[in-house]
Amino acid sequence: MPPLGILLPSLVNGLLTGGVYALVALGLTLIYGVLHIVNFAHGSLLMLAMFGTWLLCTEAGFDPYAALPVMVAAMFAMGWALYRGVIGPVAAGAGGGVRQDRAILLATLGVAVVLDNFALVLFTGDTRTIDTPYAFDVVPVGGMLISLPRLISFGVALLLALALWAFMTRTDAGRAIRAVAREPDGARLMGIRPERIFALAYGIGIACLGAAACLLLPVFYVSPSVGNSFVLVSFTIVVLGGMGSFPGAVIGGLLIGVTESLGGLLLGESLGPIGISTVFIAVLLLRPTGLFGAAR
Amino acid sequence: MLEVRGLSKRFGGLQAVRDVDLDVAAGSITALIGPNGAGKTTSFAMIAGFIRPDAGRVALEGRAITALRPDRIAAHGLVRTFQITQPFGGLSVAENIRIGAFLHVAEPAAAMAAARAIGTRLGLGPLLDRPAASLTVAGRKRLELARALATQPRLLLLDEVMAGLNPAEIGEIVGLIREIRTAGVTILLIEHIMQAVASLAERVYVLAEGALIATGSPREIAENPAVIEAYLGHGAAARLARTHSSPFDQAAPHG
Amino acid sequence: MPLVVLAGIVLAALPFLGGSQYLATIGLLTAASALVGQGWNLAGGFGGLTSFGSVMFFGIGAYTAAIIQTRWGINPWFGLPAGAALGGLAGAVVGFAAFRAGLRGSYFALVTLAFAEVFHVLSNSLALTGAGLGITLRLAPGLGNFQFLDRRASYAVMLALLVLATALAHWLRASRFGARLVALRENEDAAQALGIDIVRTKTLAFALSGAVIATAGVVYTQTYLYIDPSIAFSVERSVEMLLVAMIGGPGTVWGPILGAIGLHLVADTAQAWIALPGFAAMLYGVVLLAVIRLLPDGIAGMFRRA
């Protein structure tokens, strides 16, 4: 067991990263909860958002945090278009049931493959970062030095999660989305067009990635394959918290952030990542409804 | 042949099936009837192993089958059909039936021959090489029956094989069910078409709101006030007694 | 159909004529894709078990071959049966766990991906697998050593395995086991009501799939004489298998072969056209999307309808 002086900062760091993970997972769980599709392109879309942010920062001189509203809007449009152009038509063309489930899963995989390799063509496989004046600023908290950008990311991520929750529960659009999630046919009778709501929900789910990208970039790198590492992480969070559960995604995000950080510390650099996969497999095999989810 | 005791199931706040006892004599046709939502299909699902009961036990020819999986139960000779037909959509009609035949015939060609024979017997002859997905409702019902029959069951659970059919088609299915019984297969069926029940079943069980409310011959059931009330609402028995007709003279509402 | 078979035989024999190492390499790569695609197809096509992590079997085969000869001095040819056995075992264990838990569709896809990642991480950490450095074989060409300087020999081995795998698919399509597997794909409730053991049937199919894919990994190691974690367990290769089967026609005997040829035609043409890294792979994704939308039964389905 490492001494507390190393363990505690590692724990805090994991928690802070977990906040951003939670935001990524919220988008995924929203898409699952409303559309009942497993969005395998989630990691790749995050990668795309990170490259978008990187371009804004390096080419247009944006501060990453100032780029946040721009990226949220851009990724919302991206998600909307992707649903309208690819996922919706595939879902409509595949009939129903098992076949449809598989067609949509493979379509999101296809989107991921296209995006990953499109980025490879455009940006090559190099790892890229941005320079900010505050990248190495720290704040002392209880005897620990905590990275300022991580702290900001954590706070903003939780605020955005709260804002999303408020949107879903307090606005007409949010209520319409939840109505469609529960009763697509009933919602249709009330004059809500499910196809528009699906596109809206997918757009919002992807917009979360725009925000997450801006919060990640000051402390993280971007490369065409960076999405791969987020795919398993975000799915682990979502199944841990219960597919479709909002509070589950937030708590799951924090738990997985800590798991990853402690896994790296206790098991070492190369064996550490096994923690995430193991948690994922264990949850799916032993408790597929997650810690907080109802039966699926 | 089949002995069900104290079968119960609760879904959330709803007691779907409550303490149901049921006996099916070997070689008989027994019917399970009741209004929509009475728990008939849930009872079938529990007997056939698709839903685990909260309480109660099921025995087939004296052997306990309560905790078994559906495929094990099918291997013991109890096979069900589905109210909402479940064809293997991508396969031909004959291939669908062959899946049933494979339960006791391992050799593919022999299983196919058996499947085609059963399909032909059930009037699917000209459709055997069509995709199952292309069948009409009547065709799908026959396919359900043929597939189950191909497993060489000793007890067949038929869940509304006549729903959605026209009178001529119902007449044909009634004839087929009689033939199946004559061939030595015991039958337990859920049905809404009361004329069919009356002409087929020797014994009828009536479920309402999850519990058994009556049992007896079709005649006895048709005259049982509790049954009439369950179907047509409170006070109906008295009204009907005045007009000398019974709800079983017409088909009950579908669902 | 006989014409197609004849064309196939001619195409398969082409790399042996002349003596072009280039042609043999193309043949080897195409046959390798077809082999892993055929392996994936046994479970993913016939059984609808969409795995996103079947590269785990490839990696297991590749490491089995490398480990038995470098660590234990066993003859490399033994790698083929040993790799197939371990690949099959892994398929049985992963499949049994997943199917017993009732995982289907997307959940099954994700859990296989996670298992592949576990193998990736383990091979990157264990001393037995040489951790991040991987394992390099000692160069010792010779038939007895399962090492060939001539690519045509490697191609011949891969081709032989492909023929075996295709024969297996052919048997599967005609057998009771295969019919039951297809029935499960089409409708699980109905299949179970008719006496089919879901867990057993699916587990066996996934084990078969694992055994076949593992043999491709063995030949990889013997051809390139080197294996490391990122080659052995790359997500891209999982996607390739799935793609080959989906493009060619999932659940058909000849689909994966058609798919592999189609895919390599696309890839090689693209490479010649725009030689940027990622461009060919990007087209893979486009092809996958197009197939899902326009050709749900793949190239083989196109023939059947015609």
Question: Best mutation site among A270, A278, A283, A287 for testing chain C: the one with the most C CBs within 10 Å?
Answer: A270
CB-nearest partner of A90 from C98, C111, C293: C293
Is C195's CB within 8 Å of B87's CB?
A: no
CA B101, chain centre distance (Å): 20
Q: In A, which residues are within 8 Å of C109 by CB distance?
A: 38, 40, 105
Is B74's CB within 8 Å of C175's CB?
A: no
Q: Is residue B254 part of a domain?
A: no
- Tell me: the pLDDT tens digits for B42-101? 999 999 999 999 999 999 999 999 979 999 999 999 999 998 889 998 899 999 999 999
Is A285's CB within 8 Å of C289's CB?
A: no
Is C180's CB within 8 Å of B102's CB?
A: yes
Q: Which residue has the higher pLDDT, B48 or B242?
A: B48
Q: Is residue B103 part of a domain?
A: no
CATH number of residue B160's parent domain: 3.40.50.300
Confidence at residue C8, expressed as pLDDT on a 0 to 100 scale: 77
Tokens describing residue B232: 């047509």
How many domains would you assign to chain B? 1
If we measure between CA atoms, which residue out of C250, C113, C240 comes closest to residue A38? Answer: C113
A125, burial (CB in 10 Å: exposed 0-12, middle 13-18, buried 19+): exposed
pTM of structure: 0.91
Domain ranges, residue B201: 2-86+154-249
Question: What does each of the 296 residues of chain A score in pLDDT, given as a tens digit?
Answer: 677 778 888 888 899 999 999 999 999 999 998 888 889 999 999 999 999 999 999 999 899 999 999 999 999 999 999 999 999 988 887 776 777 888 899 999 999 999 999 999 999 889 998 888 888 888 888 778 888 889 999 999 999 999 999 999 899 888 888 888 888 777 777 777 788 889 999 999 999 999 999 999 988 899 998 998 898 899 999 988 888 888 889 999 999 999 988 888 888 888 888 888 998 999 989 877 777 654 43
Give, to the nearest 10 degrees, the angle between helix A172-182 and helix A194-216. Answer: 110
Tokens describing residue A166: 């408020």
User: What type of residue is C122?
Assistant: L
Q: Is residue B105 part of a domain?
A: no
Distances (CA, A) of C194 to B27, B67, B79, B144: 21, 17, 7, 10
- Cβ neighbours, 10 Å, residue C75: 11
Q: In A, which residues are within 8 Å of C284 by CB distance?
A: 113, 117
Are residues C183 and C3 in contact, defined by beta-carbon separation less than 8 angstroms? no
Q: What is the DSSP string of chain B?
A: -EEEEEEEEEETTEEEEEEEEEEE-TT-EEEEE-STTSSHHHHHHHHTTSS--SEEEEEETTEE-TT--HHHHHHTTEEE--SS----TTSBHHHHHHHHHTTT--SHHHHHHHHHHHHHHTT-GGGTTSBGGG--HHHHHHHHHHHHHHT--SEEEEE-TTTT--HHHHHHHHHHHHHHHHTT-EEEEE-S-HHHHHHH-SEEEEEETTEEEEEE-HHHHHT-HHHHHHHH-TTHHHHHHHHT--GGGSPPPP-
CB-nearest partner of B71 from C176, C179, C197: C197
CB-nearest partner of A274 from C111, C121, C131: C121
Q: Which residues of C touch A (CB under 8 A)?
A: 48, 50, 52, 97-98, 101-107, 109-111, 113-115, 117-118, 121-122, 124-125, 131-132, 185, 235, 239, 242, 246, 276-279, 281-282, 284-286, 288-289, 292-293, 296
User: What type of residue is C259?
Assistant: G
Confidence at residue B214, expressed as pLDDT on a 0 to 100 scale: 87
- Tell me: the pLDDT tens digits for B165-199? 888 889 889 999 999 999 999 999 998 888 888 88
CB-nearest partner of C277 from A93, A109, A125: A125
Per 3-state DSSP, chain A is made up of helix, strand and coil in percentages (nearest 5) of 75, 5, 25
Q: Where are the domains of chain A?
A: 15-117+168-286
